[in-house]
Amino acid sequence: MAKSKGKSQEADKKAAALMAVREVKGGMKLGLGTGSTVKYFIEELGRKKFPGLVVPSSKASEDLAKKSGLKVTTLDEVAKMGFKKAGDMGGGLIDLYVDGADEVDRTYNLIKGGGGALTREKVVASASTEFVCIVDESKAVAKLGKFPLPVEVLPFAKAFVTSELEELGGKVVERKKFTTDNGNIILDVTGLDFSDPLQLETELNNIAGVVENGIFAVRQPERVIISKKGKAQYM
């Protein structure tokens, strides 16, 4: 039973990823997310011999992109090539960012970071003109917050940040045997009040020692592709 659900979920992840590939044009600079859904996107770009540059959001996606024959670069290198428009400091660097999510609500707020890559994911998403989120139906929720919110924290600040999160009503669990690509720890937090995701995202990032949290409300995706029974569609 669980096995066949796993199989159909994989088919859904792949269907969403392949639909996102249809948005890709030859000369684009692409941002690559992280995780088991975006893996299908990266592999398909490789199969199609995508000729443009890609900026991965993690070491894992970088390795997969290289293995798939893609031209990997960094945001710093892209910046040296010049912005598209004068004064275009953010969205002009990357044309399209494609990534999965752990939860998505009806107004496109996300929880991300199940794979621990949330900080670089948010940086690349924020540097992108367009962000397309690809999910299977299990990720759609009426309200964010069932999935434990990943918070990337400086190891030095663990005790302080934990107590601040607890003050906000959070139950905090440190992710075991895990270090982010930036050398930090992840605290997975349940019990926070998600009635205003934008406000919560900002409040958490104002705690000294928090590097980033996994709420994507400031930088929401422009489009969400959701897949059910192997059929992908725009949400």
Residues with active-site annotation = 121
- Does position 33 bind ligand 5RP by CB under 6 A? yes
The residues, ordered by sequence, that sit 6+ positions from 185 with a Cβ below 8 Å of its Cβ are 152, 153, 154, 155, 158, 174, 175, 178, 179
Residue 180 CB, shortest distance to ligand 5RP, in Å, is 9
**Part in contact with ligand 5RP (CB under 6 A); list of ranges 34-42, 43-51, 187-195, 205-213:** 34-42
Nearer to ligand 5RP, 62 or 99 (CB): 99
- Does position 220 bind ligand 5RP by CB under 6 A? no
Q: Answer yes or no: are the C-beta atoms of 122 and 99 closer than 8 Å.
A: no
Q: What whole-number distance in Å separates Cα of residue 31 and Cα of residue 75?
A: 9
Tell me the pairing of strands 30-32 and 53-56: parallel
Nearer to ligand 5RP, 36 or 202 (CB): 36
**Part in contact with ligand 5RP (CB under 6 A); list of ranges 28-36, 59-67, 153-161, 182-190:** 28-36
- Does position 152 bind ligand 5RP by CB under 6 A? no
Residues 83-142 that bind ligand 5RP (CB under 6 A): 99-102, 112-118, 121
Q: Which amino acid is at 87?
A: G
Residue 121 CB, shortest distance to ligand 5RP, in Å, is 6
- Does position 148 bind ligand 5RP by CB under 6 A? no
Q: What whole-number distance in Å separates Cα of residue 162 and Cα of residue 19?
A: 40
Residue 185 CB, shortest distance to ligand 5RP, in Å, is 14
The only residue of 8, 36, 73, 205 in contact with ligand 5RP, by rule CB under 6 A: 36
The only residue of 35, 92, 197, 221 in contact with ligand 5RP, by rule CB under 6 A: 35
Q: Tokens for 104, please give them.
A: 């998505």
Region of 216 (left: φ > 0; alpha: ψ -120 to 50; beta: rest) is beta
Q: Tokens for 5, please give them.
A: 């659900």
Handedness of CA 12, 14, 19, 24 (dihedral sign): positive
Q: Answer yes or no: are the C-beta atoms of 102 and 197 closer than 8 Å.
A: no
Could you give the 3-state DSSP secondary structure of residue 17?
A: helix
φ/ψ (deg, to 5) at 38: -70, -20
Nearer to ligand 5RP, 37 or 162 (CB): 37
- Does position 34 bind ligand 5RP by CB under 6 A? yes
The binding site for ligand 5RP (CB under 6 A) comprises 33-37, 99-102, 112-118, 121
